[in-house]
Chains A and B, each alone.
Chain A
Amino acid sequence: QVRLQESGPGLVKPSETLSLTCTVSRVSVSGEYWTWIRQPPGKGLEWIGYAANNGATSYNPSLNSRVSISVDTSKNEFALKLRSVTAADTAVYYCAKGRSTPNYWGQGTLVTVSS
């Protein structure tokens, strides 16, 4: 069974960069698409974007140019960076496998933006 585990700081200051990593087990990150999705407390799901190790990426236009996702085949993980965060970026962040139909998800990690 594929396993994904998010990791990173649970608290980020406003205007700084949110950085998360998703460690993937039991499958190679090569040749697949890897996605980030977030969920503000008590709200619905928002797609952030995806990346593949061949350099393919796609991001939610609502996040403008603040977001980047990268895949590291040497560590079998992928990463999310979200720059210039505000309180509106406070959410549980999920990593997932797949593009149009993500099938395996991590347990999620809560990131709070606060000074």
Chain B
Amino acid sequence: DVVMTQSPLSLPVTLGQPASISCRSSQSLVHSDGHTYLNWFQQRPGQSPRRLIYEVFNRDSGVPNRFSGSGSGTDFTLKIDRVEAEDVGVYYCMQGTHWPPLTFGQGTRLEIK
């Protein structure tokens, strides 16, 4: 199985400040079709996960442009330019390249300081 390792696991951030979450995979996520299936999900308290970013850097419709994804191979990052109160929740990376099984990171809990 591909192991996805996120850091940090807890991220206290001041409103208006930037935040960054790292996700590392135990093997390259470049698929034989040339795509890199690395996704980011946000799970607000009491809600189901919502996809924010797909294939490393593509933002989903309706996702604020303060969210951005980057990276390649085994090293990926989710950045939030200026954290807002509605960004509180748990963020997961997920790889869809090597399966079964598709695998998730442990989750990073973002809170407001």
Q: Are B107 and A47 in contact, CB atoms less than 8 angstroms apart?
A: no
Q: Are A102 and B51 in contact (CB under 8 A)?
A: yes
Q: Does A61 contact B (CB under 8 A)?
A: yes
Q: Smallest CB–CB gap between A26 and chain B, Å?
A: 15
Instruction: Pick the interface stretch among A7-15, A75-83, A103-111.
Output: A103-111
Q: Take A45-B92, A105-B48, A105-B50 as given contacts and tell me if A58 and B60 are in contact as well, using a CB distance cutoff of 8 Å.
A: no
On chain B, the residues within 8 Å of A60 by CB distance are 100-101
Question: Beta-carbon contacts of A66-101 to B below 8 Å, as 1s and 0s?
Answer: 000000000000000000000000000010000111
Could you say which interface size class chain A belongs to?
Answer: 20 to 34
SS class, residues of chain A in contact with chain B: loop
**Residues of B66-108 whose CB lies within 8 A of A:** 92, 94, 96-97, 99-107
Query: Which of chain A's residues have a CB closer than 8 A to the CB of B97?
Result: 100
Which of chain A's residues have a CB closer than 8 A to the CB of B55?
Answer: 101
Separation in Å of the A59 CB from the closest CB of chain B? 6
Q: Does A41 contact B (CB under 8 A)?
A: no
The chain A residue sitting closest to B33, CB to CB, is A100
Q: Is the CB of A94 within 8 A of B101?
A: no
Q: Report if A44-B106 is in contact (Cβ < 8 Å); known contacts: A101-B55, A103-B51, A105-B48.
A: yes
B89 to chain A, nearest CB (A): 13
User: Which residues from A are CB-within-8-Å of B96?
Assistant: 99-101
A45 to chain B, nearest CB (A): 4
Contact of A106 among B48, B54, B104 (CB under 8 A): B48
- Determine whether the beta carbon of B48 is less than 8 Å from that of A49: no
> Quick check: is A46 within 8 A (CB to CB) of the other chain?
yes
Most buried by B among A59, A94, A105: A105
Distance A41 CA – B60 CA, assembled complex (angstroms): 27
Contact of A61 (CB < 8 Å), options: B50, B94, B101: B101
Inter-chain CA distance A62–B100, complex, in Å, is 10
Query: Among the listed B48, B94, B106, B107, which residue makes an inter-chain contact with A94, where contact means beta carbons less than 8 Å apart?
Result: B48
In B33-55, the 8 Å CB interface with A consists of 37, 39, 41, 47-51, 54-55
